[in-house]
Amino acid sequence: MSVNISKTILVLTTIFSLFQGLVYASSPHVISFRSPNLYPESVTYDRISQHFIVGSLRHPTILSVSDAGVVSTLVFDESLPANSSFLGVTVDVTYNRMLAVVYRHSEPSNCALAAYDLRAPHKRLFLATLYDSASSISGAGANDVAVDFSGNAFVTNSASNLIWKVDLEGKASVLSKSKAFTKTPVPDTPYSGCGLNGIGYVSKGYLLVTQSNTGKLYKVDSEDGTARIVQLNRELIAPDGLAIRRDGVLLVVSQHKLYFIKSDDSWSEGVVYDETALDTESFPTSVTVGAENRAYVLYGHVKEGISGNSQRDRFSILEVRSEDESGVEAVWVYVLIGFGLLYFFVWRFQMRQLFTNMNKKVA
């Protein structure tokens, strides 16, 4: 009898879990958090602490945000000018570091990359000024950052259409200023003055990079900086930040949409297989991959923050799903529930027959 009870509990637990999955499929996760005049431009996810990490457009602050919207300060760098901004942020899981692009408003030509220990007290490991003396290229326009498994960081420069490389010790150099990075903007886009923007590292040894003013996606060799355009089946409108899911799907955020893109040939070509509309007024600028491979978009109200005369303390991180993928998941949930119920009723019928036969033998 105890075996039968265990089987019943197992079946019921399985069916309950499937119903939970169905509920999950219908309710995206919304994280609302508060911080006075934060105006975060970028978000990343720390898989160790299972918290999101955001920077600030208004002051040199990096915050941790929990699933419940609880905020804690990781970094307040008093050595930087008070009105410095942290733009792109990422986590280097290999070397336990946070990397953040620094915009110093008092010295706009001297953008930098800062590295901080991911462990408390989060001391700064280096501050690498992005400047190339050989070509007199400044760091003005530094934007987003990605990191490889060797600790090399890669920073996009939207003003000069180039990519910086900063090694593990904080030495900066220009990785790529490829002629492939065209400067011809697409007419009537809100990013006509912005060049290279979002960046992500692929473990096969290359970078994927968006260019906001042209809508192009580039594949860039992380060793020699050679670049070429990824051919897409659909135009990207003003792409901004990007993230790469563990299943290889590329997520690209713009002010209006989140694009879901995949490739079967190591990004010679790509297919935009879905796009999800976003809240334009909240000005989404960044996307990251959280727990369970979920996509999260940051609503940082950056356009409002750039104006400089606004005040806001509420921001949000919103889970965004592909409607195509959600539809497939929902169908499979229904199928699995059907199989679970069928198995349960067949098992009950068999048990009833067994008890009937046993009663006959006893009688």
Q: What pLDDT, on the 0 to 100 scale, is given for residue 180?
A: 95
Q: What pLDDT, on the 0 to 100 scale, is given for residue 293?
A: 95
Domain boundaries of the chain, sorted by first residue:
1-28+324-363, 30-320
CA distance 150 to 159: 27
Q: What pLDDT, on the 0 to 100 scale, is given for residue 360?
A: 59
Q: How does 33-65 read in b/e, with b if 16+ C-beta sit within 10 Å?
A: bebeebbbbbbbbbeeeebbbbbbbbbbbbbbb
Residue 131 pLDDT greater than 90, yes or no:
no
Residue 333 pLDDT greater than 60, yes or no:
no
Residue 351 pLDDT greater than 60, yes or no:
yes
Q: Is the peptide bond before 81 cis (omega within 30 degrees of 0)?
A: no
**CB atoms inside a 10 Å sphere around CB 167:** 14
Q: Angle, to 10 degrees, between the axis of helix 323-362 and the axis of helix 2-25?
A: 160
Q: Which residue has the higher pLDDT, 160 or 39?
A: 39
Q: What pLDDT, on the 0 to 100 scale, is given for residue 15?
A: 53
Q: DSSP assignment, residue 132?
A: B
**For residues 205-225, average pLDDT:** 97
CA distance 237 to 210: 11
Residue 169 pLDDT greater than 50, yes or no:
yes
Cβ contacts of 333-337, under 8 Å, gap ≥ 24 = 333/18, 333/21, 333/22, 333/25, 334/22, 336/18, 337/15, 337/18, 337/19, 337/22
**For residues 177-206, average pLDDT:** 80
Residue 330 pLDDT greater than 50, yes or no:
no
- pLDDT digits over 155-165, tens only? 999 998 999 99
Q: What pLDDT, on the 0 to 100 scale, is given for residue 38?
A: 96
Which bin fits 209, alpha (ψ -120 to 50), beta or left (φ > 0)?
beta
Residue 258 pLDDT greater than 90, yes or no:
yes
Q: Look at 159-163, 191-195, 253-257, 333-337 and tell me which has the smallest mean pLDDT.
A: 333-337
CA distance 351 to 9: 15
Residue 17 pLDDT greater than 80, yes or no:
no
Q: What pLDDT, on the 0 to 100 scale, is given for residue 310?
A: 85
**For residues 255-280, average pLDDT:** 97
pTM: 0.83
Residue 77 pLDDT greater than 70, yes or no:
yes
Is 30-320 in CATH node 2.120.10.30? yes
| Highest averaged pLDDT of the listed ranges 191-205, 234-248, 322-336 | 234-248
Phi then psi for 346, rounded to 5 degrees? Answer: -65, -45
**For residues 178-194, average pLDDT:** 67
Q: What is the largest CA-CA distance in the chain?
A: 100
Residue 314 pLDDT greater than 80, yes or no:
yes
Residue 24 pLDDT greater than 50, yes or no:
no
**pLDDT, averaged across the chain:** 86
Q: What pLDDT, on the 0 to 100 scale, is given for residue 282?
A: 94
- pLDDT digits over 298-312, tens only? 999 999 998 878 899
Q: Look at 79-83, 255-259, 349-353 and tell me which has the smallest mean pLDDT.
A: 349-353
Residue 318 pLDDT greater than 90, yes or no:
yes
Q: Look at 133-147, 153-167, 323-337 and tell me which has the smallest mean pLDDT.
A: 323-337
First to last CA, the chain: 20
**For residues 11-35, average pLDDT:** 67
CA distance 63 to 306: 19
Residue 89 pLDDT greater than 80, yes or no:
yes
Q: What pLDDT, on the 0 to 100 scale, is given for residue 328?
A: 46
CA distance 140 to 48: 33
Q: What percent of the chain has pLDDT over 90?
A: 69
